[in-house]
Structure 1
Amino acid sequence: MSISGSGQGARAHRAGAFDIRLVIATLFGVFGLILTGMGLFGTSDADLQKTDGMNINLWTGIGLLVAAVLFALWTWRRPIVVDTEAAAGARRD
């Protein structure tokens, strides 16, 4: 079974951008960057007093960035392979 969808006899291809894990990784990455920036540049002393001195925006942002990297690695290491002939046959039935 071929993985690339470019050949004449190719039956399967990768889900690519339609893989939900990649969408989740992108969202986690965007929100992680925003929170990390807020933690580094937008935290006041009053904010730190509310959380007992812990910079919650910074740590949550770093956690989201780590999760985004893990989701992206998962997508890269174990791609979803879509069998186009089986999907077309299921639509005809």
Structure 2
Amino acid sequence: MGSGDKPFGVPGTEADDGPEGISKEDEAKAASAANKFDIRRLIGALFCLYAVILIALGLFGSHEIKNKAAGINVDLWTGLGMLVFGVLMIFWALSRPTVPESPERREQGPGQIRDAPAT
């Protein structure tokens, strides 16, 4: 083992990968994988799924059950509200995807005061 060898190195961390040992391609793949399971997408998808079920119940359910609440079709209106919220969550996740921290920010370590991202 030479002086430059790392005994506990991670596969794929050759010298041509960059200063941190992670190539730009690997970093892009990690960011893409993180965005696939963004909590905003999951919440939006669940709200949309439940909204479709409620809208179907509101449209095709029995007339007596639909109008129990003072003649208001609660299932339909709740489903529409949930659908709007779910679509907004998915739109938010797609319009502002998560971005991994830059190496400069990672080097600052915990406890450092950082600038808030510009909105």
State the TM-score, normalized to the length of structure 2.
0.58
Shift of residue 46, structure 1, vs aligned partner: 4.6
Task: Find out whether 1:53 has 2:71 as its counterpart.
Answer: yes
Q: Provide the residue aligned with 1:77 in structure 2.
A: 95
> Hey, what does 2:49 align to over in structure 1?
30
1:23-76 alpha-carbon deviations (Å, 9 max, x no partner): 00010010000000000001422541x200000000000011100110011001
Q: Percent identity?
A: 40
- Kept in 1, the 8 Å contact 2:51–2:82? The answer is yes
SS at match of 2:70: coil
AA aligned opposite 2:83: L
Partner of 1:9: 24
Match of 2:61 among 38, 42, 62: 42
From the CA coordinates, give the structure whose radius of gyration is larger: 2
Over the aligned positions, Cα root-mean-square deviation in angstroms equals 2.5
Larger RCO, structure (CA 8 Å, separation 6 or more): 1
**Residue ranges of structure 2 left out of the alignment (5+ in a row):** 1-22, 107-119
TM-score by length of 1: 0.72
**Could you tell me how far apart the structure 2 residues matched to 1:24 and 1:32 are?**
12
Tell me which amino acid in the other structure corresponds to 2:24: G
Judging by fraction of residues, say which structure has more helix: 1
